[in-house]
Every structure is written in structure tokens, then in C-alpha cells.
Amino acid sequence: MLEYGTDYETLVGRFRWRIPERFNIGVAVCDRWAEREPDRVAVLDIAPNGDVRPLTYGELRDASNRLARALQARGIGPGDRVAVLLPQGATVPIAHVAIYKLGAIALPLAALFGIDAIAYRFHDAGVKALVTNAAGLAKLAELEEPVPTLDVILSVDGAEGAAESFHAALASEEPAFDPVDTGPDDPAMMIYTSGTTGAPKGALHAHRILLGHLPGVQMPHEFLPREGDRLWTPADWAWAGGLLNVLLPGLYFGVPVIARKFEKFDPEEAFRLMADYGVRNTFVPPTALRMLRTVPNPRGRFDLALRTVASGGESLGAETFAWGREALGLTINEFYGQTECNLVLSSCAEIGVAQAGAIGKPVPGHEVGVIREDGSRCEPEEIGQIAVLRPDPVMFLSYWNKADATRAKFLCDWMTTGDQGMIDADGYVHFIGRDDDVITSAGYRIGPGEIEDCLIRHPAVALAAVVGKPDAMRTEIVKAFVVLKDGYSPSDTLAADIQGFVRARLSAHEYPREIAFRASLPLTTTGKVIRRLLREEA
């Protein structure tokens, strides 16, 4: 954990990792609190109708112990993959804690996944058990091929077909369980990459991943936990951003976490939720923040108690950064990481580490650099690949059943990210774009982030994504895909106006020579734009 410090250099200088010889995520986020304060609230589960159901640490311990016993009785043990296919709600932490105590491997799956995404992950991971609901069972029934390894299915909505009742299974067990004695390097969870540039890969993580995340959570949330802190994110708890940036650290720190299932992100409803339930700390991905920007006068209309807003997963941009200060009265702390090695760069406005257009500085305990193709460090302002030095407690163990891909992820002891960036003279890291996203036009290397940030400053533009389109003369030209705000209609005149807007504010080589208007953009379940699909379309 970070010691409260007055400046960044002090934090880095004082920080040392203390990884114990034995460590289990389930014990650390649940039993540790349940023994001391069983009535302490762990999760506030909010139903769509507004009903609130608090889940205490004592209840979390008892329910997770019952589930661990139920899974064990059905043949699930250490190393087995157990999928959790559920939206935000109290059952998700119960399932995760039980899986970790059992020594099994949690496989979180987003409730929005379609049947192809589910089938791929089930077969690739060799899933042996599943905790889900009626919606998940319906998707399972549509799979073209049965999953031969899947032996146990528990549904929170009751028995159906091959699925047993989750609640009945728990009711038949005692609320006592001796957790498996795991070490920090023992496998605990597998999170699939979002697949922005190819087929998703299962990133296998150890129990130490939680400890590795703690300073990276404390930094953007300005020394969480503090009195009255309360966490919420619209991000699915199946994603590293929801699970490891919010849910598990919140449980570890004893900070109540709000659970609220949204069928579709609604910016008005999001502000109302934060106001009604006293949210103090939130992680909101940049795309969702841009949607929040469409809500006028949020502080005047909603009684917000926000202390920190963190954002990551894609580039925030200077425009959204400025909106946070103006509309919310605070600085959005941008951070950076990947499924394989998350939360290694961060901002922290409280100690003066915040700069528009930058993704922060290395979180204490992590060695992050920008490197050349030979593995040497780049000079300040020189563009290269963002990389993280191993060993690092937040770094993945390997890609599941993909030894070649694991080896290819590393250059000497640097874990490469596939992201282009540069470090400025003040030590801030700037994100340029994915290797595949960087556009080469007439000899210039152009990152999409700055152009997209400029595009959304146009009064007609709600969302935008930029890719390179092959061009015989320039190698590539900049093509923009644009979603318009309500009240605007696509036209050649509007396209020309948007082009002129960008050209006047950036440069002649960066403005989009083509604009395509769309009703929506292709997004991963984590809210990232799938530029690969847009490149194929272009």
C-alpha cells in the first residue's frame, strides 16, 4: 500500500513490495474483515427498482464457504476453471471468493457476451463449472457444440435442465470451509484479452495480482481508503477494470462497493445513481465519460459527493480532462494498464501528478519504460513501445495454452504492450496508439487519440474513431467514423465543416480526409473501440 506522501518522488522512494509467502485473495478480501467486523457492509446491491440489499462481510464469508463446499462436493478442486457469467450483483463476489478459497481458477465472463464469445472461452479454457443465471443458461443452450469439460452448472434463477439451483446448493452446505493454502504465485484467475487486434487470449494471473493492484488503485483514487469512501463503476465486473480496479480492491480496503446492473449505460441514470447513493470514488472508462459530457450542468442538477474519478482503458484526451474540471469540479485521474499487467501508470492530482493528454507516471513499485525495437530505452520525447519490466506482482503468469504467444510478449525482461508512447521531459507517459492503430501518412506517423479528441470538440460530434485507410499516394489517409449528437443529420456540408474544424486546430496532415457517419461504433464489452473492424471496413 502507498504511504501518504506530499509528492511523487517521496512515494516512489518509500515504496517497497511486501508479498507474503502465503496469500489467498478470497481470505484477504473477505475472511480478514469478517473475523473483525462481520456486520461491515461489503457490497450494496441495488435493484433496478431501487431496492437496496446490503451484503456484509459476515454474509459474504458464510455464502462463499457454502459455495466452496458445494463446488468441492461436485468434484471441483485446485486448478479447475470456474466461469462466472453474471452481471453486477452480490452473487459475483460470493462466487469469486469461493473459487479463490477453493484454489480453483476464476474465469469472469461479461453478461453482454454473445454465444460465439462464450463458446470460444469455454472451449479454450476447458471450463469445468459455471455460475450463471437464466440469461446465461439461454446462451449456453444456443452453443452449437457442447462443452465436454463442463460438469457443474449452478443458476441463481433456479434449476433448469442440467443446471442446479445455486441457492439450493448453498442451503445444503455448512458455512465453514478451510481455504486452500495458496502461495502468491499460484493461479487464481484468467481474464481474456478484449480482442481489439485479434483472437482473445486467456491471461492467467496469480493470487499476487490483487496485491500488485493496490498502489495502482490508491494513486488515481488519491489514497483510498478514506473516511466515507464508496466505490462504483459502470464497468462490468468481468473485465479487469471492474474486477481488479474496483470490486476486489474495494473489498480488500473495506470500502463499500455499489452493484447496479445496467442493461445499457445511461448518463442521466449514472449521475442519479452516484447522487442517490453517495458515490465518492468512481472508475468510468473514457467512452462512458464522453457520454456523461452530454448531460448539462451535472453539479447543479445532482447532489454529487464525488471525491475521485479515475479513467482508463483507452485514451482520455485533453477535452474530456478539461470537462472534468469544469463540470465536476475535480481532476479526472487517468491511468494505464493491460489485461496482462494492469494499473502500472497513473495520475494523482492530489500530489500534483496530472497533465492533460498524458496517462500519468509509473505507479510506485512498477518499472515502466518506452523502448526501441532492440529493447533499449528511448530518449525523452522519442516515440517507442510502452513496456513493463519483470518481475512485477501485477504481471500475468502466461497466456493459457499459448507458450509461443507468451514468449512473444517479452523482449528481454520487458513485457511489451503493443502500445506506442513517449515519455516527456517531466516524466509523464503519453499514449500514441496501438501498434496497429498508428497511421503512416505521407511520411508522418499519426496517433488516432489526438484527432479523436479534437473531433469530439465539434458541437455536432458525440463519438468518433479514427483509422488509417490504404492510399496509393500517401500510404494511408486518415479516415474518421463519427456518431452525431441528437439534432444533427449526416451531410456532405457537415462532413466538410468537421474536416475544416480539425484541420484548423491540428494540422493539414492530421485532419480526416474521409468521414463516415454511423449510428454507433463497434465496441468491446469493456467499452473500447474495435478499430480492427473499422480498418477492415475502410
pLDDT band at 40 (very low <50, low <70, confident <90, very high): very high
Rounded-to-integer distance, Cα 47 and Cα 87, Å:
12
For residue 199, report the phi and psi dihedrals to the nearest 5 degrees: -65, 140
Considering the chain, what percentage of its residues have pLDDT values greater than 70?
A: 96
Mean pLDDT value across residues 342-361: 96
Greatest mean pLDDT among 369-378, 502-511, 523-532:
369-378
Mean pLDDT value across residues 3-21: 91
Please report, to the nearest 10 degrees, the dihedral formed by the alpha carbons of residues 235, 236, 237, 242 taken in order.
Answer: -20
CB 307 within 8 A of CB 295: no
Neighbours of 107 (CB within 10 A): 27
pLDDT of 198 over the 60 cut: no
pLDDT band at 335 (very low <50, low <70, confident <90, very high): very high
Q: How is the chain split among helix, strand and coil, in percent rounded to 5?
A: 30, 25, 45
Residues 6 or more apart whose CB falls under 8 angstroms from that of 19 comprise 184, 208, 211, 393
Is the CA virtual torsion 433, 435, 436, 441 positive or negative? positive
Residues 6 or more apart whose CB falls under 8 angstroms from that of 257 comprise 42, 43, 44, 230, 231, 232, 246, 247, 250, 251
Compute the mean pLDDT over every residue in the chain, rounded to the nearest whole number: 93
**DSSP state, 350?**
G
pLDDT of 530 over the 90 cut: no
Mean pLDDT value across residues 357-371: 96
pLDDT tens digit sequence for 154-172: 999 999 999 999 999 999 9
Rounded-to-integer distance, Cα 338 and Cα 197, Å:
13
**DSSP state, 145?**
S
pTM of the predicted protein model: 0.85
pLDDT of 506 over the 60 cut: yes
pLDDT of 446 over the 60 cut: yes
pLDDT band at 443 (very low <50, low <70, confident <90, very high): low
pLDDT, greater one: 529 or 146: 146
Rounded-to-integer distance, Cα 317 and Cα 233, Å:
20
pLDDT tens digit sequence for 73-82: 999 999 999 9
Given this model, what pLDDT does residue 212 score?
A: 98
pLDDT band at 31 (very low <50, low <70, confident <90, very high): very high
Question: CA angle at residue 91 from 90 to 93, to 5 degrees?
Answer: 75
Neighbours of 430 (CB within 10 A): 22
Rounded-to-integer distance, Cα 349 and Cα 351, Å:
5
pLDDT band at 316 (very low <50, low <70, confident <90, very high): confident
- What ranges make up the beta strands (E) of 111-228? 129-132, 152-155, 164-165, 187-192, 202-206
CB 260 within 8 A of CB 52: no
Neighbours of 186 (CB within 10 A): 20
